[in-house]
Amino acid sequence: MRIALGQFDAHVGDLAGNVEKMRSMYEQAVKQNVDLLVFPELAVCGYPPEDLLIKRHFIEDNLLAVEKLAKSCPDITIVVGYPGLLDGRIYNCAAVLKNGKIEDVYRKGLLPNFGVFDEQRYFKAGDEPVMINIKGVNVAITICLDIWDSNWLKDFLADCNPIHMILNISASPFHVGKIQKRLSAITQCAQKFNAALCYCNNVGGQDELIFDGRSAIADSTGKIRCLAGAFEEELLIADLNLSGENNLDIQQVSPVSSQPAGDIEEVYKALVLGTRDYTRKNGFKKILLGVSGGIDSALVTSIAVAALGPENVIGITMPTRFNSAETISDATKLAENLGIEFYNIAIEKIVQQFHSSLKSIPGWDDKGTAYENLQARIRGTLLMSLSNQFGALVLTSGNKSETAVGYATLYGDTAGGFAVIKDIPKTLVYKLAEFVNSTREKPVIPKDILTRPPTAELREDQKDTDSLPDYDMLDEILKGYVEQDKSAKQLIESSFPKEVVRKVITLVDRNEYKRRQSPPGIKITPKAFGKDRRLPITNRYCSFNNEP
């Protein structure tokens, strides 16, 4: 039996486009004599469709799309994900298409409702297994979370015997370390059933989420025998033939894809894919961003160029008297190295004009936070004006450390459509910048940018460390507080200074309102700001009331 796992970028809401993509993979599969062609979870509508699922006409349109796919692909058995209706309730379904028709429907049993997932908002859980037989191979169909609890699955499939292969269609989002967890879940499940496991994942960027593909096939000992490419579409083809003792002999047919060399390359590829997909799927051709001469915007500019090509990236530097000659010159060098369109708009006169209009208001002065933020908001306004004029998407350059503690100006440096490195802690920003340079013969990010102490340049001689702890410590505290939900007590007990912990936690809590109005960005950690972490703005809880 020959199987093909059609790992493709299902665009949310683009039912016709997704069907067309699947039909074109079907044509390749026919040429290769495939018996069973598999597409990801909710491949017909993309994942996650969120509240589109509440629109009844959306569900009806999905059924029409599945029927159209069945009709246009009659010669191979296909398993494909879609949201389907039964007795007035919506299920997360896998349709089995055969001879131009929907032959059977499996309904997902375990519905994730944690982290970025809200499936119990939409779906009822299914309670009936579906088995198909392809050339003598008995296949149990499952969807995503179903295989992550192999004890549950063993009970669920208790009456299905023999099972030669578990088929799983997924839309499993990326974060650093997820691939290890995922492969380990696959291995464990294959071992539990002493059966092969074929796993077909979604790929592509969807708002905050990246789906990394890496569809896989494990043999009945749990060993991963085939692994599709990361962050790209691919048709993974393999032969699965029954040998003695009901086990399947597995042979990969399509060429083996290369895999990212490590975490840094993995994150870099996720950021490039996420930026490209957000831009293109939202109808933009060009990107616009502020280039300050600092490390964050240098990294984001490099990612933008990798995602869309230098011809589609416009950099703007907007100095005041607080910007040093060095940073302006570094911004210019970076733009030259990357070969992007680049403009310098000095904003000193605009700052002065605001100041003269505001000085009539009692209490206004040109020192302090208000005046610093003003500069950032003028830059945001300029970028948005140019965005409106040119129809270009504005990228922001705030990293996770700044986003966490609110070291950013709302409607200033947070102004833009997409926050590429929103989930990248500052310490990882440096590693990614070094990685970018390592991929080129000649470094594109000037060395000074990598070595200069971080500064917002909103007043004379400002340094980030005037307001914040060292990033090494800050990032460790943030990991504990934001990603691991540790209390102040736990953090202090694990040796961070009490005053620093208090300060950081207070800043994180107090700046929820800024994050709520910030653009979406790419999730690469186990817990990102966004759908992953839903805290009230109005919130008086303080975890150091009970500290040691």
Does 17 interact with a copy of itself (rule: CB under 8 A)? yes
User: Helix, strand, or coil here: 529?
Assistant: coil
Q: Which residues pair with 98 in a beta bridge?
A: 101
Per CB under 8 A, which of residues 392..411 are in contact with a copy of itself?
410-411
Phi, psi of 351 (to 5 degrees): -55, -45
The residues, any chain, with a CB within 8 Å of residue 199's CB and separated by 6 or more, are 5, 147, 168, 170, 182, 186, 215, 216, 217, 218
* Active-site residue, from 45, 73, 93, 144: 144
Q: Which is nearer to a copy of itself, 13 or 310 (CB)?
A: 13
Query: Does the annotation count 41 as an active-site position?
Result: yes
Per CB under 8 A, which of residues 55..74 are in contact with a copy of itself?
55-58, 61, 64
Instruction: List, as one string, the DSSP characters of 68-79.
Output: HHHHH-TTSEEE
Find the binder of a copy of itself among 180, 258, 451, 538 (CB under 8 A): 538
Part in contact with a copy of itself (CB under 8 A); list of ranges 151-159, 367-375, 400-408, 430-438: 367-375
* Active-site residue, from 21, 98, 108, 269: 108
Distance between CA atoms of residues 404 and 427, nearest Å: 14
Part in contact with a copy of itself (CB under 8 A); list of ranges 180-188, 305-313, 430-438, 482-490: 482-490
Does 452 interact with a copy of itself (rule: CB under 8 A)? no
Burial class (CB in 10 A: 0-12, 13-18, 19+), 541: exposed
CB of 363 to a copy of itself, least distance (A): 6
CB of 150 to a copy of itself, least distance (A): 20
Handedness of CA 168, 173, 174, 178 (dihedral sign): negative
Q: Which is nearer to a copy of itself, 188 or 487 (CB)?
A: 487
Find the binder of a copy of itself among 378, 395, 405, 478 (CB under 8 A): 378
Distance between CA atoms of residues 476 and 470, nearest Å: 10
Q: Give the β-pairing of 77-86 and 418-419.
A: unpaired
Distance between CA atoms of residues 35 and 293, nearest Å: 55
Does 494 interact with a copy of itself (rule: CB under 8 A)? no
| Token duo for residue 24 | 């074109």
* Active-site residue, from 21, 41, 372, 486: 41
Find the binder of a copy of itself among 151, 180, 495, 546 (CB under 8 A): 546
Find the binder of a copy of itself among 32, 133, 161, 388 (CB under 8 A): 388
CB of 285 to a copy of itself, least distance (A): 15
| Token duo for residue 118 | 């809200």
Instruction: List, as one string, the DSSP characters of 187-217.
Output: HHHHHHHTSEEEEEE-EEEETTEEEEB--EE
CB of 189 to a copy of itself, least distance (A): 24
Does 291 interact with a copy of itself (rule: CB under 8 A)? no
CB of 46 to a copy of itself, least distance (A): 8
Does 442 interact with a copy of itself (rule: CB under 8 A)? no
Distance between CA atoms of residues 345 and 290, nearest Å: 10
Give me the count of residues in the chain.
Answer: 548
The residues, any chain, with a CB within 8 Å of residue 527's CB and separated by 6 or more, are 115, 482, 483, 484, 533
Per CB under 8 A, which of residues 132..171 are in contact with a copy of itself?
none
Q: Which amino acid is at 104?
A: D
Per CB under 8 A, which of residues 321..350 are in contact with a copy of itself?
343, 345-347, 349-350
Query: Distance between terminal CA atoms of the chain?
Result: 63
* Residues in contact with a copy of itself, shown as a per-residue x/- string from 173 to 212 under the rule CB under 8 A: --------------------------------xxx-----
| ω into 48 cis (within 30 of 0) | yes
CB of 39 to a copy of itself, least distance (A): 18
Q: In what order do the strands lie in the sheet with 89-98?
A: 101-107, 89-98, 77-86, 36-38, 2-7, 234-242, 248-252
Part in contact with a copy of itself (CB under 8 A); list of ranges 54-62, 195-203, 221-229, 321-329: 54-62
Find the binder of a copy of itself among 99, 360, 451, 495 (CB under 8 A): 360
Does 23 interact with a copy of itself (rule: CB under 8 A)? no
Does 448 interact with a copy of itself (rule: CB under 8 A)? no
Find the binder of a copy of itself among 249, 326, 365, 493 (CB under 8 A): 365
Query: Does the annotation count 93 as an active-site position?
Result: no
Find the binder of a copy of itself among 188, 381, 427, 462 (CB under 8 A): 381
Torsional class of 55: left (φ above 0), alpha (ψ -120 to 50), beta (otherwise) = beta
* Residues in contact with a copy of itself, shown as a per-residue x/- string from 29 to 48 under the rule CB under 8 A: ----------------x--x
* Secondary structure element (H or E) that encloses residue 279, with its range: helix 263-281
Q: Which residues of 496-517 are buried (b: 16+ CB within 10 A; e: fewer)?
A: beeebbbbbbebbbebbebbee
Find the binder of a copy of itself among 1, 12, 93, 267 (CB under 8 A): 12
Does 256 interact with a copy of itself (rule: CB under 8 A)? no
Q: Which is nearer to a copy of itself, 64 or 86 (CB)?
A: 64
Of 251, 257, 197, 264, which is closest to residue 230 (Cα–Cα)?
257
Q: Which is nearer to a copy of itself, 353 or 467 (CB)?
A: 353
Q: Which is nearer to a copy of itself, 83 or 129 (CB)?
A: 83
Per CB under 8 A, which of residues 88..127 are in contact with a copy of itself?
113-114, 118, 120-121
Query: Does the annotation count 128 as an active-site position?
Result: no
Catalytic positions, written as ranges: 41, 108, 144
